[in-house]
Structure 1
């Protein structure tokens, strides 16, 4: 008699919502495929009120890009709200990375601001100033210096600013075109830069949810 293969994704109901258990021994791509199948094929199960979701990955440490792909699958079910993603002995409160760090101030010429995770800067980045993160960069001010997002290879990272007038942008390993090629029509108002077809493109901020639907704005992702 053949061996019965246990599911790669086990779903359990709890008093607080739903618990998704991901088999740590399977390739993560296989887990994602099984999860996508369950979320798409059992649509009648997911219809209903908002439900808190906890995800346990066992001893598997997932990367930032893997987490974003996981969140993208759940974003198809608007009522399934990811509350936490937990690995053995560690809970991230919904984010496997440090979270969004809020800082206030001006990055002046010659200064370099570095952070692991997503950074929200309340201030300006002057020409000659540099901001580097492993996640995304959000500047509530003028970005006139250099910004490098996704410094460890995260191609889904973005760079956003109230006034996007950089000397240079970098996302993962891709470098933007020279600053004299930026058109005022593209960079006026709140805009963000992102990667598409291995090139950096710029779009209006209100198009962010269409281009990067996996990005979730939640108060518990911000910390001071």
Structure 2
């Protein structure tokens, strides 16, 4: 007989696998049996640990809120487990839209003035000037066609593979993940514009390279941006 509910130990607790082919009623019935068995074993062994972390994985089945509530209630009432999360192989519509934004290039044509903040869920191409006090932030990379006098912060959630492409011969603050560089060229008016790539090198230091090195620095750049470079 196929086992529709299976429990196994993982690094930080336990994983409860629920079959995605059985009916939900069958899952609840087998879950009851499993919890009763575990409770009996726990009583015999004298186990006293509480709130052991449990991840519930439903495979190719997406559980709705009511189903999650029923499972949570059973587990909380009949076991020592504390549910950490519900996971599955299925994306919700909302998460799919969020993921699409994260991996797509967002383009904006505007001037970013002092006090303004532009946020992007993935990569961003900004065509326009960023004034002192203006901020451009992105989870991914930042590409600026225009003057950068404010702050450009790529990889705001810790992505050290993100890059910033801009004219760095201007007064600006550059950040990638937790690394910071302040550009302060006193003679910038006498120097020609030069677009470069800012990135985190193998020594975990924020470095600059010429634009023609972009593909080598980040080989997957054309896949993410749709072949922009």
Could you state the TM-score of these two structures normalised by the residue count of structure 1? 0.52
Q: Which residue of 2 is the match for residue 179 of structure 1?
A: 183
3-state DSSP of counterpart to 2:102: coil
Corresponding residue to 1:132 among 130, 137, 160: 137
Shift in alpha-carbon separation, 1:213–1:164, aligned structure 2, 3 A: farther
User: Residues 1-224 of structure 1: matches in 2 within 5 Å?
Assistant: 88-89=90-91, 97-162=102-167, 164-176=169-181, 178-180=182-184, 188-196=193-201, 197-217=203-223, 220=226
Q: What residue ranges of structure 1 are gaps of 5+ in the alignment?
A: 1-24, 26-57, 60-86
Could you state the TM-score of these two structures normalised by the residue count of structure 2? 0.50
- What is the RMSD of the two structures over their aligned residues, measured on CA atoms? 3.4
3-state DSSP of counterpart to 2:198: strand
| Structure number with larger C-alpha Rg | 2
Contact 2:199 2:208 in 1 (8 A): yes
Q: Which residue of 1 is the match for residue 13 of structure 2?
A: none
Contact 2:142 2:154 in 1 (8 A): yes
3-state DSSP of counterpart to 2:158: coil
4+ long deviations beyond 6 Å? 181-187
CA positional deviation for 1:179:
2.5
Contact 1:103 1:122 in 2 (8 A): yes
Across the two proteins, how many residue pairs are aligned to each other? Answer: 137
Instruction: Provide the rounded CA distance (Å) in 1 between the counterparts of 2:192 and 2:205.
Output: 17
